[in-house]
Amino acid sequence: MTDQRSPLLARPGAVEAGGLDRGVAAHYGDPVREQRALVRTPGTVVDLSHKGVVTVTGPDRLSWLTTLSSQVLTGLEPGASTETLFLSVQGRIETAPHVVDDGVTTWLVTEAGETAPLVTWLESMRFALRVEVADRTAEWAVLGAAGPVPGLEAPVVWRDPWPEIGPGGWSYAALEGPHPGEERTWCEHLVPRDRLDAVTRDLPLAGVWAAEALRIAAWRPRWGAETDERTIPHELDLLRTAVHLAKGCYKGQETVARVHNLGHPPRRLALLDLDGSEHTLPSPGADVVAGERTVGRVTSVQLHHEQGPIALAVLKRTVDPAVDLVVTEDGQRWAAAQQVVVAPDAGQVVGRRSGFLRGPRGAHG
């Protein structure tokens, strides 16, 4: 897929984002105000037209995708949303599409960088099955919003299942109260790409920085940000929404089962509350340090309209949750208070009698 540069970058005040979000607006002049509007003003949309759109059609599509991925998609009801992972043989995350089926077509919403590899791999796995795979990014664009958008005609809408624990899923979060993700609702609307400018003409716009701040606060991992070439699902608490632990064989399943039942993930996701007195933010990739030892890296960072500067970070599993952390980059330092997302003793479920590592009610005997 070629890079998609959005026509909405011609709107007043638009400033283009970089990194994963290159090609769309980071903001339109006031990212904090836009973030508040995204939460409080129905119909506010975020241009996500840099994302990819892949379709799978044919009568075998859902059963075929089930055999290849970490999720049970067979029987997915029209309009129902989920997500799945395509893993390496070693159980590492290769792609992580958002999934919705309309009864005829399965739609996969992807990050720009995972679209082409996913299409190529799916094509290589078709064999004689009745399925067709297509990259539809040139035809369809994605708009994000905190819920349904009044008056927007979007034939396909993906609703983020996070943080609900799906069938066959499991929570690795260390929680005594509600999950912070319960405060966030998120939808991705597919609209014809040639109509993107027209359908958003009368809608309030927020940039991707606003959406990212809300995602970070919800502990919501993102492919290409929180993932790298070593990431396994357990490290990011993705067993809750993207993995069915009781499904049949698929590539990477052995690692998923072994770590869940007998081991521990080597790293874990955490949220960092950053010192805001510097009036600057570190970049993704900045080191997280405990004492003199580098113990992880920042993966996503934004200024939240209520919480101030916050970041997601992937840390070594054994980092003490109570230890003082510092984020460092190019000689700058930010003190960081850690909120545990994935528990340090996550995994090794076999033999546990009780605890915070749990599946959905009734899912486990």
Burial 219-239 (b: 16+ CB within 10 A, else e): bbbbbbbbbeeebbbbbbbbb
pTM: 0.94
Q: How many whole angstroms separate alpha carbon 306 and alpha carbon 283? A: 20
Range with lowest mean pLDDT among 123-132, 136-145, 222-231, 299-308: 123-132
Regarding whether 136 and 65 lie in a shared domain, the answer is yes
Residue 286 has pLDDT above 80, yes or no: yes
CATH assignment of the domain containing 102: 3.30.1360.120
pLDDT tens-place string over residues 206-226: 999 999 999 999 999 999 999
Regarding whether 286 and 217 lie in a shared domain, the answer is no
Q: Please give the mean pLDDT across all residues of the chain.
A: 94
Regarding whether 280 and 186 lie in a shared domain, the answer is no
Give me the domain span that covers residue 273.
Answer: 266-340
Regarding whether 192 and 230 lie in a shared domain, the answer is yes
Regarding whether 217 and 278 lie in a shared domain, the answer is no
Q: How many whole angstroms separate alpha carbon 103 and alpha carbon 141? A: 20
Residue 311 lies in a domain: yes
pLDDT number for residue 1: 41
Cβ pair 282, 327 in contact under 8 A? yes
Residue 2 lies in a domain: no
Residue 357 lies in a domain: no
Residue 248 lies in a domain: no
Regarding whether 198 and 315 lie in a shared domain, the answer is no
More confident residue, 361 or 69: 69
Closest CA to 342 of 256, 236, 263, 240: 236
pLDDT number for residue 360: 45
Regarding whether 144 and 59 lie in a shared domain, the answer is yes
Regarding whether 285 and 211 lie in a shared domain, the answer is no
Residue 349 lies in a domain: no
pLDDT number for residue 351: 64
CATH assignment of the domain containing 289: 2.40.30.110
pLDDT tens-place string over residues 217-275: 999 999 999 999 999 999 999 999 999 999 989 999 999 999 999 999 999 999 999 99
- Considering the chain, what percentage of its residues have pLDDT values greater than 90? 91
Residue 260 lies in a domain: no
Regarding whether 275 and 223 lie in a shared domain, the answer is no
Burial of 175: CB neighbours in 10 Å, binned 0-12, 13-18, 19+: middle
Per-residue confidence band for 57, with pLDDT thresholds at 50, 70 and 90: very high
Regarding whether 330 and 219 lie in a shared domain, the answer is no
Closest CA to 282 of 296, 267, 297, 294: 297
Instruction: Give the chain's domain count.
Output: 2
Per-residue confidence band for 172, with pLDDT thresholds at 50, 70 and 90: very high
Residue 14 lies in a domain: yes
